[in-house]
Amino acid sequence: MKNNEPGDQEEALRKVLKERRVGAALPPRFQEEVWRRIEQAERAPAPIAPSVRAFITHWIGTVLPRPALAASYVAILLAIGVTAGWAQGHQETRRVNNELGERYVRVLDPYQTPRQ
């Protein structure tokens, strides 16, 4: 059984890399083009933090690529929204009914204090 130690592999890799020669020549004005690109990158403004809309759009594009999964998310969020709206509406209706009851009692007998 051959025992491959890390030192042996590194030496073999170094030997192969030393023997390797690239025969292709660089394009004309290659170095000037590289420095021009570096200068452009340094002059370019720093990227602004992505907006909430961009984040949501990216999330939808990556996490919800399947229509069935997207439809289930929409259905769940819609159910949560309807339930929260119903609960808030029910609470508001109860408050208005109590207030109207107190007003009715005051109209019939202005000296009558409503029960708390």
Contact of 102 with 114, CB cutoff 8 Å: yes
Number of alpha helices (DSSP H) and beta strands (DSSP E) in the chain: 4, 0
Mean local confidence (pLDDT), 95-112 = 85
Cα separation, 90 vs 66, whole angstroms = 36
Of 21, 37, 39, nearest to 29 by C-alpha is 37
Report the 10 Å Cβ neighbour count for 105: 14
pLDDT of 115 higher than 90 = no
Q: How far, in Å, are 21, 34, 92, 95, 99 from residue 28 at the CA level?
A: 20, 11, 76, 81, 85
DSSP reduced 3-state for 56: helix
| pLDDT, tens digit (0-9, with 9 covering 90-100), for 32-80 | 999 999 888 888 776 667 788 888 888 777 777 777 777 888 899 999 9
Q: Round to whole Å and give the CA distance between 97 and 4.
A: 84
Convert the pLDDT of each residue in 4-33 to its tens digit. 566 678 888 888 888 877 777 888 888 899
What's the pLDDT score for residue 1? 45
